[in-house]
């Protein structure tokens, strides 16, 4: 079963391809997503990598968590499920 990993503290210059190549060194990557800012279309400095097995995910965490890449120590851990957040919209501002 595939295991999704959170990869944080990435350089803003890191591309999705860079992330994919890095994690392919330790195992089979089933998906790789770099999170981009919708307004600027630039990296937000984190992404998600899905490894094909739990063993490969554990190996990736051991290999990359704390490793300096482009002068920044990476944070790599198992991704937590996304929490449901209320949608924006009506907000709490005062309106006349």
Which tens digits make up the pLDDT trace of 49-79?
999 999 999 999 999 999 999 999 999 999 9
Q: What does pTM read for this prediction?
A: 0.83
Query: What pLDDT is attached to residue 95?
Result: 57
22-55 pLDDT per residue, tens: 999 999 999 999 999 999 999 999 999 999 999 9
* Average pLDDT estimate for 72-95: 78
Q: Are 66 and 74 in contact (CB under 8 A)?
A: yes
**Non-local CB neighbours of 54 within 8 Å, separated by 6+ positions:** 1, 3
**Fold type of domain 3-78:** Alpha-Beta Plaits (3.30.70)
């Amino acid at each position: 079963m595939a295991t999704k990993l959170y990869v944080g503290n990435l350089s803003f210059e890191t591309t999705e391809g860079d992330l994919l190549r890095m994690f392919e060194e330790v195992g089979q990557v089933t998906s790789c997503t770099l999170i981009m800012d919708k307004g600027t279309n630039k990296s937000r400095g984190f992404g998600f990598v899905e490894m094909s097995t739990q063993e490969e995910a554990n190996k990736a965490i051991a290999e990359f968590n704390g490793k300096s890449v482009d002068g920044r120590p990476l944070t790599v851990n198992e991704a937590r499920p996304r929490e449901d957040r209320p949608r924006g919209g009506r907000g709490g501002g005062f309106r006349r």
